[in-house]
Structure 1
Amino acid sequence: MGTDSIAGGPGPRRGASQADVARIAGVSGQTVSRVANGARYVDAATRERVLLAMRTVGYRPNRAARALRTGRFQSIGVIAFELSSVGTTHTLDAIAAAAVEIGYAINLVPVLDDTDDAVRAAFNQLGEQAVDGIIILVETHRLDGVTVPEGLPVVVVDSSAQYDYPIVDNDQAHGARLATEHLLELGHETVWHVAGPELSFSARRRRTSWQATLEAHGRVVPPVLPGDWSTGSGYEAGLRLAGDEQVTAVFTANDQMALGLLRALHEQGRRVPEDVSVVGFDDMEEAAYFWPPLTTVHQSFDEVGRRAVDTLIREIHSTEHEEQEGLVPTRLVVRASTAPPRSTTA
């Protein structure tokens, strides 16, 4: 009976073909192939029409067959440290969006153990998953001594060290200089700093630039208050700073610590910006809604993600390795948390 039921039932369902997509989209089969392969020279309107037709008929490109023909897998590996940080989260979002736009898949491998073995394991894992190249979001680990699989293109998101790979990042040092100079130009004698974690490359860049800026202007460099990116560490630093009347300006290494700092100052009766001016770093979405709204350094995580993908694709298709550094400009966003010190406004 089972045989009769099978024989009398419908035959195997034919999968949608490129010809089906081409007919519905009103384009040639070659155009469908170009869109399926992520080619960049298809105009946006045509690409969207073809993608809509693919979704309508349920067409799925055969990646395995394409890999056999081209030697490429249309897949990008991403190794990421510090997944919880604002910068990493936003950059990952931008990388994923840029990759999808050109028809590439993303394989994410988080590195939770900051050791050479953990980084090697991440490279090995991506090598086994057949990726065309790798983007590394570096935060606390230098790649010295870690061997990348031969012939695999790599792009590093980190401006803190020189690697034998293309580098893309926000200009951390420039942003910290803008923050510090803004406070000095308002008339503050010096600027205190709540730093990020000691092992963080971006925190080091901001701290070094803050100190260099003060020294370049002939100002006293106050002791650094250590933080760990968290709101709680900013709050603790704020409690320590609030009791010192000499403290009139503070630059925090990120917005989350600035939020904790603002709360501590408020609790201790120090008004912002009348008594203490505060500048953050990142320009997270919530910064405009702090009280008072936070002056901060804007980082373009979207642009960094897009440039990282664009640079990697160039590396994948290039016959020669190109060492280059692509720093995305940072800018100061002035809001209500900064003002001249009271002594200069009296």
Structure 2
Amino acid sequence: MTRRPRSAALVPATIALTAGLLAAPAPAIAAPAAAARTAGAATTAGGATGVTTAGEVTGATEVTAAGGRHGRLPETIALPTGSLPEGIARGCGTTFYAGSRADGSIVVGDLRTGSTRQLVAGVSGRVAVGMVYEARADRLWVAGGATGAITAYDAGTGQELGRWVVPGSGFLNDVEVTREGVYVTDSAVQRLVVIPLGRRGALPATDGARTLEITGDLVYGPGFNANGIRAYRGALIVTQSSTGDLFRVDPRTGASERIQVSGRDLTAGDGLVLRGRTLYVVFGFSTDSAAVVRLSRDGRSGEVVGEVGDPDLDRPTTGVLAAGALWLVNGRFEVADPRSADYQVVRVDLR
């Protein structure tokens, strides 16, 4: 990939930033064992071939997790060639995970050092799209796109802990986890897939997945529909890629309500990254940037207050927040030969 001069934000946000997809085959990312397991539910959202690699570090800047002037952070981190990544998840600290649409393999790496290693080997016919890390159980949850599967892995060892294949699925795209269950968007069928979690996060049997019909304002049409998903104040925020709308979905009933958003159009939004009331909507299908949305306290309205990007981005899909920066995965959906293309995680500075 040709190197270009770096810049901070395309359009600076007017507030202090506190901080899936169907192309051939389909999108996800995630990371190593937790040093300490917390009672929290999750920290968000892959690609890799079956070869262990060390991430190539390009450039660096001095920043700490709090945005100070200590350790050096890479500008880009290489993912395995031909891995077709889409999702990314943050584990503990600066650990991240990224998966492969080519074979479902997963790498784990460190955003501070740029190092990566294989966590899960690839399997023919498998796909890793959206991902989320569940802190309380040190688990990585991965959506399987058109395979209709959701898989849970031990985030430290890569051991498969459970796999649920849901009949009638269209394209299982992105994942969120709460204390009650795992919620997965289906971009082609108007419903969420739910993996209910029992006491202390106990996993259900392989036939224990259920579906939750989406009703209300979110109505499916042509193209990609429900895509990115994040939990916010007792509800699930979902983006509809084809229309650019954001919705609040009740995780118990499936009833949806359109979030009234002012500012730039959010059509072609893919992954969502949330911290506090600041929501980043990543444009995986259109531009090399992410919109910055400031949500109201109740999540029923919001305002697009800025846009962030970087010259190294090439059709980013989704991302994570860590060490004072937004880290986005290059999906590179327009390259001529995806199986031989290089892919990266790109650091986007927020200040």
TM-score range relative to shorter protein: under 0.3
Return the index of the structure with the highest Cα Rg.
1
- Normalized per residue, the structure richer in strand is 2
- Normalized per residue, the structure richer in helix is 1
Superposition TM-score, scaled by structure 2 size: 0.24
Superposition TM-score, scaled by structure 1 size: 0.24
